[in-house]
Amino acid sequence: MDEQDPFSGVALFVAAARAGNFTKAGDQLGLTKSAVGKAITRLETRLGFKLFHRTTRLTRLTSDGETYLAACLAALDEVTAAQTALSSSHQVLSGRLHIDMPVAFGRSVLLPALMEILQAHPGISLTLSFTDATSDLLREDVDLAIRFGRLADSTHLVARRLAQQRRVICASPAYLKRRGVPTSLAELAEHRCIVGTPNGPPLAWSVCTGNEPTLYTPHATHQFSDGAAMVDAAIFGLGLVQLPISLLREALASGQLQEVLPEVAGPDVEIHAVWPRRPMSPRLRYVVDQLLACAAAGRFD
């Protein structure tokens, strides 16, 4: 194979990185340890940097190797996804999918979309979990999760952005009449606030000061692990809350909540579909593709 081919040696490198040593990689590929080592050396020469730290007992990735592995895995994911999508386009899909999603957004926005998506493939069964806590996809047998906010870097997960939503700070008219309407970030210190929990919605608010995004930790008068309950608490007049617009749109339109400090609320929050990095089943690929289509149509904005 032409050594200038950018894919030359990639599959072997990924196998060696996943196996943790050249001997195991060679056993998996039907090659000797020496052949694997020589192929990795040729790849390192072509790339111009070391991929592995090698000792007599240990083979581990360099920092450049970690970065290259992430890029290779992303590329292989795309190839596998294309193959899966093409081969399954005319299949009757079946089997179970476990999807984990935020409570309020999941019930009001995602669930109707999923019901439409599955009409074409009634053989797909769903396990849906609604929680605002962060789930460990690798331990909780979750096939797909929908997450708000920034995602931690991980070579074990794949993420696709579905949408981004405006953040809104608001309260009930009755609360604002009692406590006054804040006109600056400094005045928030004088107000009662509704925030999340360490494992649920955020404790801190995303705000802008001088056009620079930053985190502001308001006084945690009330803490909730459920975004829908936070909306209810705000409607009942318990204090100010900051949440994505999709959770607040109905209450704002009806006048149950009133937006404050629009110039202070931070940058838009991103919504991602996230799944473990492993070969995708045709049913998971179908659902992800359909969710991305819904997102492109603006249904998750």
How far is C-alpha 156 from the chain's CA centre? 12
Domain chopping of the chain, boundaries: 10-86, 94-158+271-296, 167-267
pLDDT at 80: 64
Of 68, 70, 273, nearest to 156 by C-alpha is 70
> What's the Cα-to-Cα distance from 180 to each of 113, 176, 184, 187, 235, rounded to whole Å?
39, 5, 12, 10, 16
pLDDT for the residue numbered 110: 93
How do residues 235-276 score in pLDDT, each as one tens digit?
A: 999 999 999 998 999 999 999 999 999 988 888 889 999 998
Report pLDDT digits (tens) over 169-217: 999 999 999 999 999 989 998 999 999 988 778 889 999 877 788 899 9
Taking residues 74-78, what's their average pLDDT?
A: 74
User: 231, exposed or middle or buried, with CB in 10 Å at 0-12, 13-18, 19+?
Assistant: buried
Burial class (CB in 10 A: 0-12, 13-18, 19+), 106: buried
Q: Which amino acid is at 198?
A: P
Q: How high is the pLDDT of residue 187?
A: 92
Residue type, 294: C
Q: How confident is the model at residue 56 (pLDDT cuts 50, 70, 90)?
A: low
Nearest by Cα to 73 from 155, 7, 138: 155
10-86 and 167-267 have identical folds: no
Residue 200 confidence (pLDDT): 78
pLDDT of 53 strictly over 90 = no
Q: In what order do the strands lie in the sheet with 124-130?
A: 124-130, 95-101, 144-148, 269-276, 157-165
> 94-158+271-296 — its CATH code?
3.40.190.10
For 167, phi then psi, to 5°, come to -90, 140
In DSSP terms, 194 is beta-bridged to 222, 241
Tokens of 63: 């920092």
Distance CA(203)–CA(219), nearest Å, equals 9
Region 99-123: mean pLDDT is: 91
Nearest-angstrom CA–CA distance, 148 and 266: 14
The predicted pLDDT at position 2 comes to: 45
Q: Which residue has the tokens 């194979």?
A: 1
How many whole angstroms separate alpha carbon 121 and alpha carbon 169? Answer: 40
Residues near 186 by Cβ (< 8 Å), separated by ≥ 6? Answer: none
Domain 10-86 has CATH 1.10.10.10: yes
Residue 1 has pLDDT above 60, yes or no: no
Lowest-pLDDT choice from 127-131, 232-236, 254-258, 277-281: 277-281
Q: Of 189 and 135, which is predicted with more confidence?
A: 189
Closest CA to 171 of 231, 226, 245, 225: 231
Query: Distance (Å, rounded) from C-alpha 278 to C-alpha 282?
Result: 12
Whether residue 159 contacts residue 273, with contact meaning beta carbons closer than 8 Å, is answered with: yes
93 backbone φψ class: left, alpha, beta (φ>0; ψ -120 to 50): beta
Residue range 123-137: average pLDDT? 82
Report pLDDT for 202.
85
How is domain 167-267 classified at the architecture level of CATH?
Answer: 3-Layer(aba) Sandwich (3.40)
3-class SS of residue 125:
strand
